[in-house]
Amino acid sequence: MSVLIVLRSRVSLAFLALGLALILAVACNGDDGGGGETPVADEEPEAVGGATAEIQMLPGTTFDTDELIIGAGVDVKITADNTNGFHSFAVYNSEDDAVGGEESIAETETCSAPCVDSVSVNLAAGEYFFRCEVHPTTMTGTLIVQ
């Protein structure tokens, strides 16, 4: 009789210990999960400084300027505001690159007015070339980065 009682109490102690171990394991996992969700990870750096520029496509198949000036070495958001016609805005390292079929540095979608799109660039000082891909010989200009 007494042997059975001892055995039973040992078995229930073992279950108790197992239960405690499980609870601890779950609690620890919960802590780890919580620790991984730091609010810092959610904060995406927006364009610091918030430099912006704008160019417009006007009636007459023309940009509102053939010289656009932006800052060097900073993120600049260039907004292309198409007020008339079917146009895009594309930036190239040079006119030679554009004419030679090199890839643009950045370009908007081609869209039918009224539509607004933008590109973000971060360029070293210098002179770059921009154009509308629909009118690549008539709608062109110089992007001056300084």
The binding site for Cu ion (CB under 5 A) comprises: 87, 132, 134-135, 139
> Do 89 and 80 meet the contact criterion of CB atoms below 8 Å apart?
yes
Q: Which is nearer to Cu ion, 77 or 135 (CB)?
A: 135
Report in angstroms how near the CB of residue 89 gets to Cu ion at its nearest. Answer: 9
CA 107 – CA 130 distance, rounded (Å): 9
Q: Which is nearer to Cu ion, 91 or 132 (CB)?
A: 132
Report in angstroms how near the CB of residue 138 gets to Cu ion at its nearest. Answer: 8
Tally of CB atoms within 10 A around 80: 25
User: In this structure, what token pair is assigned to residue 36?
Assistant: 């991984």
**Please, what is the Cα angle at 83 between 72 and 54, to 5 degrees?**
15
Q: Which is nearer to Cu ion, 73 or 114 (CB)?
A: 114
Q: Which is nearer to Cu ion, 90 or 139 (CB)?
A: 139
Report in angstroms how near the CB of residue 57 gets to Cu ion at its nearest. Answer: 6
Cβ-closest position to Cu ion: 132
Report in angstroms how near the CB of residue 47 gets to Cu ion at its nearest. Answer: 26
Partnered with residue 129 across adjacent β-strands are 92, 142
Q: Which is nearer to Cu ion, 31 or 109 (CB)?
A: 109
Report whether the peptide linkage leading into residue 45 is cis, meaning its omega lies within 30 degrees of zero: no
Report in angstroms how near the CB of residue 37 gets to Cu ion at its nearest. Answer: 47
User: In this structure, what token pair is assigned to residue 33?
Assistant: 């999960």
Query: At residue 131, what are phi and psi to the nearest 5 degrees?
Result: -160, 165
